[in-house]
Amino acid sequence: MTTEQNSSRAEKLSNILAPENVTAFVQEISGYLSPETSSVAHIMPLAWRIGHLAMEPHALWELFRESHRQRIIVIPPATRAHHSAGVRAVLEPFVTIAETTNRQTMLMGHMDAGTLSVGPLTWYQRGPAGLLDDYIKFLNEIGRQPRHFPVPETVSAAAQAFCERRGISSTNRIVVLNVRDHNFLPDQETHFYRTADIATYEPAVRHLLDQGYWVLRTGIAGSVDAPFAHPRFLDIWKEPDYTDLLDPGLIARARFGITCSSGPEAVFRILGVPQLMVNGVLQSGMWMNPQDKLVFKTYHAIDDGKPARLHALLMQGVALFSDTDNVARSGFTVEDNTADEILEAVIEMDASLSKEHHPDESANRRFLEIGADYQAFISSTGHPADRRSVVRRQTQYGYALPWTQLADSYVKSHPEFLE
């Protein structure tokens, strides 16, 4: 990019935060404010994506619940950018939802504009990644663990009725499955880094079915069909009475979830429902709950084809990216988990929740040590900042939080990962 192009881009970015746009935003939100109530507001342009709609308000609530009586998120209306009715219902008791059609306001939401106080209003605008970076830093304080949202009765009742119509009783065990496939935003290949093949999940799903579980698969219209069928396996979004109001209720009803690096896993996270993340990718801005387990995709070094080590992946900056091209520029390729790897991880997760699996504490201690070293690095020197970026460089590595668990099955099949 030339100096002239950089100058033009900087000018356009500065115009987004022009005084008249900031003034218009403050005036627009003023109707939600009271002089007697301290309020914090955060603009969320990506609310149509379920992961952002779940994690950003949760982080805002955690960060400001003790200092501000009102937490406000500013989002596009559902008529313009559809968002999950179920997640919205979970949020509404804890945050105020303000809708806007103002395009300039939404553009400001992508910016790392910092914090501005105007009367009773604190405008907190760190951008999506910055908000999560601040929240992970908050969790790093001694003695803290994440707190979770409950599911409102309306959502729980709807999920219960949905289950009862299919003969799923309150004593039946459920696993909720989410597999992100190539049909998700197929024109945007950057997302393919986080996709997987539903066919590789068949042995794990059949194992759960053999154990008496119901397996409920989340998805959207156009998702790749599962290559298997069973009376206790449901693609829930295909059911005639399905609405996205049900999602948090069904997730809360599950014994655990099988997830991947895709938006629905955030719903498990903010509700505190255990999840096994398979086909996971290294990401600085993600965090897990104490009962969760991580199974990363398989990374290889491009120069020699050997399996990658976690320390090298982190120091080369892989956790900063969410696309294959930048991971390749960092020196690595990535492969999906095999069917056997997914099956072994599911068996381990089920046994762990039953207290029948004894974890490899030395391996996980090593995993956390490597994470802590990387956390220290990015908290101080860190990777060089991209001056073209509208967000600050990330300063937190969420998988270094001390309760994070790497699945033992992953260490067994990738012994070099922790070397």
Quick: pLDDT tens for 63-93: 999 999 999 999 999 888 889 999 999 999 9
> pLDDT tens digits, residue range 153-171?
999 999 999 999 999 999 9
Alpha carbons 206 and 209: distance in angstroms, whole number: 5
Residue spans per domain, the chain: 3-139, 153-418
Alpha carbons 164 and 406: distance in angstroms, whole number: 35
Contact 177, 201 (CB under 8 A): yes
At residue 3, the pLDDT reads 45
> pLDDT tens digits, residue range 313-354?
999 999 998 888 899 999 999 999 999 999 999 999 999 999
Cα 168 to its chain centre, rounded Å, is 28
H or E element in which residue 70 lies:
strand 70-75
> pLDDT tens digits, residue range 128-145?
999 999 999 999 998 899
Q: Residue 350 carries which side chain, given as an amino acid letter?
A: D
Alpha carbons 383 and 377: distance in angstroms, whole number: 8
What contacts 71, CB < 8 A, 6 or more positions away? 39, 40, 42, 57, 60, 61, 64, 65, 94, 95, 96
Alpha carbons 183 and 198: distance in angstroms, whole number: 12
Residue where the block lists tokens 């059609």 = 101
Percent above pLDDT 70 for the chain: 92
Arithmetic mean of pLDDT over the chain:
91
Contact 157, 75 (CB under 8 A): no
pTM above 0.85, yes or no: yes
Alpha carbons 369 and 34: distance in angstroms, whole number: 47
At residue 185, the pLDDT reads 55
What contacts 360, CB < 8 A, 6 or more positions away? 408, 411
Whether residue 297 is predicted with pLDDT greater than 90 in this model: the reply is yes
What contacts 123, CB < 8 A, 6 or more positions away? 25, 26, 40, 41, 113, 115, 116, 117
Q: Where are the beta strands (DSSP E) in 321-393?
A: 332-335
Closest CA to 56 of 78, 70, 74, 69: 74
> pLDDT tens digits, residue range 352-362?
999 999 999 99
Q: Which fold has domain 153-418?
A: Rossmann fold (3.40.50)
Alpha carbons 361 and 87: distance in angstroms, whole number: 35
Cα angle, residue 234 at apex, residues 90 and 247 outer, rounded to 5°: 5
Tell me the backbone φ, ψ of residue 241, rounded to 5 degrees.
Answer: -105, 15
Alpha carbons 209 and 106: distance in angstroms, whole number: 45
Ramachandran area for residue 388 (φ above 0: left; ψ -120 to 50: alpha; else beta): alpha
Whether residue 97 is predicted with pLDDT greater than 90 in this model: the reply is yes
Distances (CA, A) of 56 to 98, 102, 113, 282, 326: 14, 20, 16, 19, 25
Structure tokens at 260: 């991947």
Mean per-residue pLDDT, 39-49: 93
> pLDDT tens digits, residue range 393-418?
789 999 999 999 999 999 999 999 99
